[in-house]
Every structure is written in structure tokens, then in C-alpha cells.
Amino acid sequence: MTLLAAGVVLVTAHEPALAPDGPRGEDIGMTATAFMSVSLDPPLVLVSLREGSRMDDLLDEQPLWGVSVLAESQRHIAGRFSMKGRISDRLLFEDIPYVRGEASGALLVGGALATLECSTEQRIPAGDHTLVIGRVLTARVPSADGGPLTYFKGRYRQLG
């Protein structure tokens, strides 16, 4: 499967505070290459999450999430959110431009080729992953500059 080129996205969600008077909720991000359009009517997308990952657990409880389609210039963002044993997500977002999605509350990366906000429609166990199908609530094309970031033969690459 390393010979199948894939686009690279950052999936994000906001973990709400545990209590209204407690500490603020946390923003979570995860790099994904298993992401695809499923349907235009209704607009549905699918992302594959490693079972038991922090994002899988969060999206099991929190149905709203965001997707930023990364541009070729955003390789550092993809690498940062795919590290194992990484530092807190709060620190990972610290120097990245973003806006908070109005529909989902998820962080959407500035300079991304496209951004989506989604609501989970269905979760399907599949081996050691969970396939999450989301209904697209908003779709924007904030930047048409540059090409997409791709993943091929275990490395991030640019087209051309």
C-alpha cells in the first residue's frame, strides 16, 4: 500500500471541558492519509482512525470535527501531528495560523487548500481502525495557492 499515493489532511476536534467551571477544553489534531470523499448528495467524507487512538476516542464522544487539506508547503504540520509520543497538542498548535470553525469548534489550519467541518454520521469498526463517516457541514477553499501535500512510499512529497 506504500505505492498508493494519498493526500494529507489534518483532522481536528475540540475536546470540551469536563465541567462548566473547570479548565478549558483541549484542541486535538491528527495527520491522516486515509481520507476520501464518499458522497456528494448528501455530502459525506470518510477518515480512517487507528482504533483506540486519542482522536478515535474523542470522536466516539464528540461528533463535530474539522479537516484541513494540507498544501505542499505544510509538510512540517503533517510531520508534527503524526509523531508518536509527541508533546501536548496545545503546544503543537502554538505557532500554526488557524481559525476556529463556527460549526464544529475545531481548529482549521490557515493556508490549507481546503477546510471542512463535519458531523459524524456513522462509525464502522474495520480491523485495527475505525472508519468515521462525516456529513460535511461547511466547506471552504481559503487558499488555492500551491499544490497538495501527498504521501508516497513512506514520505511526504509534492506533485511534479
What pLDDT sits at residue 12?
97
Model confidence pLDDT, tens digit, residues 26-36: 999 999 999 99
What pLDDT sits at residue 159?
81
DSSP string over 35-69: EEEEEETTEEEEEEEETTSHHHHHHHH--EEEEEE
10 Å CB burial of residue 127 (0-12, 13-18, 19+) is exposed
Q: What is the mean pLDDT of residues 5-17?
A: 92
Share of the chain above pLDDT 70, in %: 94
141 or 143: which leads in pLDDT: 141
Q: Which helix (H) or strand (E) holds 145?
A: none
pLDDT band at 122, cuts 50/70/90?
very high
